[in-house]
Chain A
Amino acid sequence: MKIALCIKQVPDSWAEKKMGADQRLDRASVDAVLNDLDEYAIESALTLVEANSPTGETGEGSGHTITVISMGPERASEALRKALSMGADDAILVSDDALAGSDALATSKVLAAVIAQGGYDLVLCGTESTDARMSVIPAMLAERLGFAQLTFAGKVAIDGANVNISRQTEFGVEEMSASLPAVVSVVEKINEPRYPSFKGIMASKKKPLVTKSLSDLGISAADVGSSAAWSSVKDSLPRPPRGAGIKIVDDGNAGTQLVAFLSERKLA
């Protein structure tokens, strides 16, 4: 089984983010990290291979490989290296100056091109990136590739040429299945991502990381980047900071004072 793992390098989700003068997220002023939610997809890929490989290991000889894929600037290779240190086999970074400012449509086009070239059976993703939070890439990839879409998985298992998931939606707990190839996105509760071991970190430095340009993928620079985006930001402004309001120390009747406050605002 060939697994493609789509990841993104994002500004640290614990940091304050702001807009730059170009109406895009100012990424330079914030630490860049591997998107938290992608770690669950990496762990899922490793667990699936461990469960299905005769030796419990991944890599060429086992018949199972995990390729981690990202689109981003040169420094996004740090996020790819982290995935490699956790246990993925190799990495592909699509990096091209023309990609700056790409919308989700262009991003999904690029990722789909890499996946189509590699001939993968299973595409794994997190549910969303913590910066843009659109949560549409897995669905867009399924649409572009014609792969089965099994998203928001809380459990995932491979059974021969089929993939089965279980997920919690507004309709209840759904069991879904499909034959491969498929796109699966996983939610946080699915697992506890492993920490890279020292051995894993050392090994990751020797693992292949290939950088591809748009021309390697047969995509025109005119179809990606900010000038080709199908939506645009007219303006943005920082939300006025919320002024802190009343703050009291409970002397035994703070709850009663709160009821009065709520009732004054017609909230209780």
Chain B
Amino acid sequence: MSNVLILVDSVSGKVSKSTAEIATFAKRIGDVTAVICSSDSAALIPQLSGLSIDKTITCTGVEFEKLSTGAVAAALAAVIAKESPSAVLIASSARGKEIAGRLSVRIESGIITDAIDLDADLVATQSVFGGSTTVHSVVTHGTPIVTIRGNSIEAISGTGPSTHEEVAVSYDGDRAAVSSVAPAVKSGRPELTEASIIVSGGKGTDGNFTPVEELADALGGAVGASRAATDAGWYPHSLQVGQTGKTVSPQLYIAAGISGAIQHRAGMQTSKTIVAVNKDPEAPIFDVADFGIVGDLFTVLPQVRDGVNAKKA
């Protein structure tokens, strides 16, 4: 039986949703070993129970949070040398892709990023060119390193890890150091790339995101923005959806006051269900919408919010 390594992704002592998803893909290939490179390992291990993970390996001896991602890549390389896995799966976050990139150089192995599916034979599916093309690819050299986009699979539960090991690692690479971290102010909303529902606002909001936020909150979703809205300074760049922002693929994407230029569609058109609200009946967003409303978002969104809240009551 082959063995697959996954890297546990966590923020502030909490295991990310992506870890369960990656474990689900890994289980298709073989036994799953979850590698923990975090000073919160004691808090993380109990959270892995119930996931499709067979074993954990905690890397000790390095303060990963204070170093560049090179330290995680070096730790993974040490574990790979010991375990000889058939593949390594990592979350497709900015941090995850960096770790994967450094690891591929370090262990001289091929890399595939942003997979949305991975079969038992390690054939990865990617959605490229803004979702307009589906590609199947394989790593042909070394230990395949694949990063997997969030929300690509419904995570299945498993027995959880029964074996726990520790591996002492060291890092003598680059000395970039994190000197301070001001924890992010939590909006209380899900992470954009993890959310099942996203409501995004664009130029049509004219800078007023209140109806967008209120509908997102009624649906338990995240808030996104088009490039026009972030460029205007109405919403943070970190929440921009599109070619030069985040690529998302939620169950439901609601585009409010967004015309839907290629730039934006590239970041959201693989969403399962797309809803568009726009005053302009010719807006290209309607070409990809499952449900389009030609109307004013300031009257439509509150009506939807009230309808959703009424159903919950």
Contacts and interface: CB of A to CB of B under 8 A. Distances in A.
Q: Is the interface of A mostly helix, strand, loop or mixed?
A: mixed
Contacts of B295: 249-250, 254
A173 B243 contact: no
Contacts of A66: none
Contact of A176 (B97, B123, B178, B299): B178
Interface residues of B, number: 95
B184 A250 contact: no
B181 A258 contact: no
Given A17-B132, A136-B101, A172 B181 contact: yes
B179 to A, nearest CB: 5
A255 B303 contact: yes
Contacts of B142: 230
A256 B243 contact: no
B293 A262 contact: no
A237 B134 contact: yes
Given A14-B262, A256-B307, A233 B244 contact: no
Nearest to B129: A17
A234 B102 CA distance: 25
Nearest to B252: A267
A239 B68 contact: no
A168 B98 CA distance: 15
Nearest to B251: A267
A187 to B, nearest CB: 7
Contacts of A250: 293-296, 299-300
Q: Is the interface of B mostly helix, strand, loop or mixed?
A: mixed
A32 B122 CA distance: 34
Interface residues of A, number: 82
Contact of B139 (A15, A148, A230, A248): A230
B113 A136 contact: yes
Contact of B299 (A171, A255, A261, A262): A255
Contacts, number: 279
Contacts of B97: 134-136, 139
A247 B292 contact: yes
B113 A135 contact: yes
A148 B137 contact: no
A178 B291 contact: no
A231 B110 contact: yes
Contact of B262 (A16, A171, A263): A16
Nearest to B303: A255
B82 interface: no
Of A13, A16, A174, A250, chain B has the most CB atoms within 10 Å of the CB of A250
Of A178, A245, A256, chain B has the most CB atoms within 10 Å of the CB of A245
Nearest to A242: B288
A133 interface: yes
A139 B102 contact: yes
Interface in B179-232: 179-184, 191, 197, 219, 230
19 contacts: A13-B243, A16-B262, A18-B132, A19-B133, A103-B110, A133-B114, A134-B113, A136-B97, A136-B98, A151-B98, A176-B178, A236-B128, A236-B135, A239-B133, A244-B292, A249-B293, A255-B300, A255-B301, A268-B307
Interface of A: 13-19, 23, 25, 36-37, 103-105, 108, 127, 130, 133-140, 142-144, 146-152, 168-179, 182, 187-189, 229-239, 242, 244-250, 253-256, 258-259, 261-263, 265, 267-268
Given A178-B175, A238-B134, 15 more contacts: A17-B130, A25-B129, A142-B70, A143-B73, A149-B98, A150-B68, A171-B181, A174-B181, A231-B138, A232-B140, A236-B134, A236-B135, A239-B131, A242-B274, A268-B219
